[in-house]
Chain A
């Protein structure tokens, strides 16, 4: 393949912090890689670990879950639950042989447009290093 590999990354952003942070990065005209497909959720606590598995099945090369800093959650404690869940699914996916460089979580608040850029750059760079991830992709059935 002569074309350069561009990773496909699914990002689950919480409505109150990270989504607003990404919005701020946009309105501040901060340039960051365009590999992200952003899905807005109300809280990181909404992110079922199966979302991550499903994203990989549908052809994602990396997944990012991003929410408010601990203590800042709009729903008081949603990100604490998300953190526990995420740390476990991350261990499990790594155990069955999925590169941990594909799975990320971050805290980005609504005022951290610059941090958002750094996070995305890191996530994209790591997913690029890990390479395309086809092994887990769901078979396309051709009826």
Chain B
């Protein structure tokens, strides 16, 4: 059970601190499944905070999304901290941001929330056979209980958990200042990359056809980039016109180039929070691309991003004895 009273007390204490700018958490959405991010600036606003299996948003995105407006002359910039609620996967994003110095450690207060897995809303809708208005959900004794308009419904965890959560090895935050709730026992010890291996088993032509079919539906909304906690370049190649790395036209060649560059820019950085796949309006299995790179990084460099704040970024470092069997 999640002790919301405790969470709200923590939030109130944190936001009352003088060195904290605002507190980012989750609150109930206005419609159905949606849980929206909640920016707490006053202690009174903390009463809306929740933590439930519907809180799938990765709030670490907001650390780098915050607009840095120019400061008027004679004024000091606001250097106060941002308090942030993180699940296990989100905390890895924070660690990776620290590694890349996208943020500094003293700029954040991390509220760690051990997580038992979040719901994939598409799976619930499939089980129920229709779009349902699930307002609330909670974990209870290894099950997930959803509140529907006509009463409560119990689900087995494996049925409704998001794909990323089924293989989650870090349900507990890897970095935190304040821990909210009890630590949970990880339910998956090792990543087996099953989905990646399935695709790798296909022939070249089959793989090409598979991905072309997926990429052809891409509408280039760039949601995957916008939601990603680690896509925070101020000057993104997708927006840049000179040089134009990737044309804006939506066709199969440009879509493929876009997907390749998006995936590649996360090579050795992706912490597998699955947000890109969740927000994709045309359901491209983006995690299969990201996981492939994670697998390659793991096999070739024995590296996993987002675990050690002292680590060097993978692509900004090297070892003289890196594998080079492919070199002529």
- In the docked arrangement, what's the CA distance between A105 and B328, Å? 6
Cβ–Cβ contact B261 & A50, under 8 A: yes
Residue of B nearest to A138 (CB): B253
- Please tell me which one of the listed residues B237, B253, B293, B296 contacts residue A50 in the complex, with CB atoms under 8 A apart: B237
Q: Is B148 an interface residue (CB 8 A)?
A: no
A-side interface residues, number (CB < 8 Å): 39
B314 close to A95 (CB less than 8 A):
no
Q: Say if the beta carbon of B320 comes within 8 Å of chain A.
A: yes
Task: Give the residues in chain A near B206, CB-CB below 8 Å.
Answer: 97
Q: B264–A92 contact, CB under 8 A?
A: yes
Contact of B300 with A by CB under 8 A: yes
Residues of A within 8 A of B245 (CB): 50, 54
| Chain B contact residues: helix, strand, loop or mixed | helix
**Are B289 and A92 in touch, CB under 8 angstroms?**
yes
Separation of A49 and B205 alpha carbons in the complex (Å)? 22
Verify A96–B326 contact, CB threshold 8 A: no
Residues of chain A contacted by B221 (CB below 8 angstroms): none
Q: Does B107 contact A (CB under 8 A)?
A: no
Band of interface residues on B? 35 or more
Known contacts being A50-B237, A85-B315, A88-B268, is A80 close to B253, with CB within 8 Å? no
CB atoms of A98 and B208 under 8 A apart:
yes
Chain A binding surface SS class:
helix
Q: Which A residue's beta carbon lies closest to that of B314?
A: A84
Which chain B residue lies CB-closest to A82?
A: B318
Is B211 an interface residue when CB atoms closer than 8 A count as contact? yes
- Choose one: A54, A77, A91; the contact of B293 (CB below 8 Å): A91
- State A119–B328 Cα separation when bound (angstroms): 7
B326 near A105: Cβ-Cβ < 8 Å: yes
- A122 contacts the other chain (CB 8 A): yes
Instruction: Check B327 against A88 for contact (C-beta < 8 Å).
Output: no
Contact indicator per residue, chain B 196-235, by CB within 8 Å of chain A (1) or not (0) = 1001100011111111100000000000000000000000
Cα A83 to Cα B267 with chains together (Å)? 14
Q: Mark A83-107, 1 if CB is under 8 A from B, else 0.
A: 1110111111111111100001111
Given A88-B315, A139-B253, 16 more A-B residue pairs with CB atoms under 8 Å apart are A54-B245, A57-B253, A81-B318, A84-B315, A85-B315, A87-B296, A87-B323, A88-B296, A89-B264, A91-B292, A92-B293, A96-B256, A97-B204, A97-B205, A107-B327, A138-B254
14 inter-chain pairs at a CB distance below 8 angstroms, sorted by A residue, are A53-B260, A53-B261, A54-B245, A80-B322, A87-B300, A88-B267, A91-B292, A92-B292, A95-B196, A95-B200, A95-B292, A96-B208, A135-B212, A136-B253
A interface residues, Cβ below 8 angstroms from B? 49-50, 53-54, 57, 70-71, 77, 80-81, 83-85, 87-99, 104-107, 119, 122-123, 135-139, 141
